[in-house]
Amino acid sequence: MLSNMNKKNVAVVGAGLVGSLWAVYLAKRGYTVSVFDRRSDIRNVKVVQGKSINLALSDRGWKGLEGAGIRKEIEEVALPMSGRLMHAVNGELTYQPYGKEGQAIYSVSRGILNQTLVRCAAEFENVSLNFEHKCVDVELDTNTIVFEDKNGERVRQQFDQIFGTDGAFSAVRARMTKLDRNEYSQSYLDHGYKELEIPANADGTHQMRKDCLHIWPRGEFMMIALPNIDGSFTCTLFFPFEGEVSFDKLKTDQDVLDFFEKYFPDAKAMMPELLLDYNTNPTASLVMTKCNPWNYKNQVALMGDSAHAIVPFYGQGMNSGFEDCSELDRLMTEMGEDHPDLLKEYGKTRKPNGDAILELALRNYIEMRDLTADKDFLLQKKIEGRFATKYPEKWIPLYSQVTFSHIPYHEALSSGIRQNEIMKEVMNRPDIEAVWDSEEIENEILKRI
């Protein structure tokens, strides 16, 4: 594989999803790449498909993978989900396609994806992988990283450039926030999450449709389920920590069983290990972070969750991190790898997109847990879908802009706000249910665009 000693000697701190992908991009450009992670080598961890957390991968993520040449490998373990299937309390099912015919988001195991990316990086002779190396400080002026190895010994190493891909609680970012005029904010949602499982049938088939993302919208909370290739589903309950109906109130096994019987009876019937899962799996929190700038001179850049940790309701955290990779790679080509303002330009252009996808993800939580059970909302989506099919150059539904396009997130957010204003006016018509698919409605929308 490529090796070029005249190229920069760079560090990638964090061998998670984004770091391992970015290492491949850098390796392909011939850099000498040292990857560090505080964890042990993920390639040695046995990923149990059904038990692993899965993620929705969409167009921005695929583009990132393509740039590293590993789309095909991931396609083999990815399950397409062409729409949402909403489960009402009475068991009634409502299907809503995500996009046009043939468009889908893909359920992929986080463990398999991370292992594949690390294996891919390891194939390059100009990449060294250093596990059990925890970054504890960065001496910014000399571009030196201080690591603590597995024996607790401190090691210092200097690099030409450092990429911080060490996730939501990034040590690289933490060092940058000590600088003058460096902005940082962190907040938590009042809701946390817990993972549960719907196992496969005895013959290995799925107990529910495997071509959908399943949602149980319940107003203040919701559960979702994504299919795994072994026939199981990974379910995630997003639920308030405290309050009338909350994690806090489910104190006994009976409380848990009663809660699931009341709100998710169809799912409960498919969860023989519900209590075991509920009691064993952690109740995790959902953090959001913003920072500015994303770079320090042309020496350090933050990518992925270290720059923009968002809530998971648009399924875009990883996808946006992969887009950071393809976008920085594009800038390297356009500006030149050695351009003195490369990392500044990267931070400047990506930051508004990081902010926008956080806002979009927060809005989508309301949509998923509340509106997907709302008759008017579903009608609105039908009207939009019909109009978008007829006038694709005039209207791309917001979900499609975010999920099935490469339109910058901040542009998608502004256009989504405008579309919503138009649709509100249209939905205000008292006769909308009768005339929703008429030419008159089409003309009303056309008039307002």
Ligand X SMILES: Cc1cc2nc3c(=O)[nH]c(=O)nc-3n(C[C@H](O)[C@H](O)[C@H](O)COP(=O)(O)OP(=O)(O)OC[C@H]3O[C@@H](n4cnc5c(N)ncnc54)[C@H](O)[C@@H]3O)c2cc1C
DSSP labels for 338-397? T-TTHHHHHHHHHHHHHHHHHHHHHHHHHHHHTGGG-HHHHHHHHHHHHHHHH-TTT---
Rounded CA-CA distance 86/93 in Å is 6
At 18, give phi and psi (nearest 5°): -75, -45
For residues 283-342, which are near ligand X according to CB under 6 A?
A: 304-306, 312, 315-319, 321
Residue whose entry in the numeric block shows the structure tokens 């008429």: 438
Stretch that binds ligand X, among 7-15, 340-348, 394-402, 408-416 (CB under 6 A): 7-15
Identify which of residues 259 and 365 has a Cβ nearer to ligand X in the complex: 365
- The token pair at 85 is 């299937």
Least distance (Å) between residue 372 CB and ligand X? 16
* Closest chain position to ligand X (CB): 16
Residue whose entry in the numeric block shows the structure tokens 């992929």: 108
Identify which of residues 129 and 270 has a Cβ nearer to ligand X in the complex: 129
Identify which of residues 313 and 387 has a Cβ nearer to ligand X in the complex: 313
Residue whose entry in the numeric block shows the structure tokens 């399924």: 315
Stretch that binds ligand X, among 163-171, 214-222, 383-391, 426-434 (CB under 6 A): 163-171
Identify which of residues 7 and 84 has a Cβ nearer to ligand X in the complex: 84
Residue whose entry in the numeric block shows the structure tokens 């009341």: 262
Stretch that binds ligand X, among 12-20, 274-282, 397-405, 415-423 (CB under 6 A): 12-20
- The token pair at 345 is 């330009």
Least distance (Å) between residue 142 CB and ligand X? 19
Least distance (Å) between residue 293 CB and ligand X? 17
Stretch that binds ligand X, among 37-45, 94-102, 121-129, 332-340 (CB under 6 A): 37-45
Distant-in-sequence, close-in-space partners of 295: CB < 8 Å, separation ≥ 6:
301, 302, 343, 344, 346, 347
Identify which of residues 38 and 84 has a Cβ nearer to ligand X in the complex: 38
Q: Do 19 and 13 form a contact (C-beta atoms < 8 A)?
A: yes
> Binder to ligand X among 10, 11, 121, 166 (CB under 6 A)?
166
Q: How far apart are the first and last CA of the chain?
A: 52
From the list 315, 45, 299, 287, the residue with the least C-alpha distance to 175 is 299
Asked if residue 39 binds ligand X (CB under 6 A), the reply is yes
DSSP, collapsed to helix, strand or coil, labels residue 63 as helix
Q: Could you give the angle at which helices 409-427 and 375-390 cross, rounded to 10 degrees?
A: 110
Least distance (Å) between residue 432 CB and ligand X? 33
> Binder to ligand X among 112, 138, 171, 357 (CB under 6 A)?
171
Identify which of residues 293 and 315 has a Cβ nearer to ligand X in the complex: 315
> Binder to ligand X among 11, 18, 222, 361 (CB under 6 A)?
18
Least distance (Å) between residue 101 CB and ligand X? 23
* Binding map of ligand X across residues 233-272, x = CB under 6 A, - = no contact: ---x------------------------------------
At 413, give phi and psi (nearest 5°): -60, -50
User: How do strand 144-148 and strand 134-139 relate by DSSP bridges?
Assistant: antiparallel
CB-neighbour burial class of residue 125 (10 A; exposed 0-12, middle 13-18, buried 19+): exposed
Identify which of residues 58 and 126 has a Cβ nearer to ligand X in the complex: 58
Rounded CA-CA distance 41/15 in Å is 9
> Binder to ligand X among 11, 12, 15, 79 (CB under 6 A)?
15
DSSP, collapsed to helix, strand or coil, labels residue 271 as coil
Identify which of residues 171 and 423 has a Cβ nearer to ligand X in the complex: 171
Residue whose entry in the numeric block shows the structure tokens 């989506």: 381
* Binding map of ligand X across residues 50-69, x = CB under 6 A, - = no contact: -----xx-------------
Asked if residue 111 binds ligand X (CB under 6 A), the reply is no
Asked if residue 22 binds ligand X (CB under 6 A), the reply is no
Least distance (Å) between residue 87 CB and ligand X? 19
Q: Do 105 and 364 form a contact (C-beta atoms < 8 A)?
A: no
Identify which of residues 135 and 250 has a Cβ nearer to ligand X in the complex: 135
DSSP, collapsed to helix, strand or coil, labels residue 429 as coil
Least distance (Å) between residue 110 CB and ligand X? 7
Identify which of residues 64 and 231 has a Cβ nearer to ligand X in the complex: 64
Rounded CA-CA distance 37/184 in Å is 23
Chain CA centroid to CA 22, Å:
16
**Interface residue list for ligand X (CB under 6 A):** 13-19, 36-39, 55-56, 134-135, 165-167, 171, 193, 236, 304-306, 312, 315-319, 321
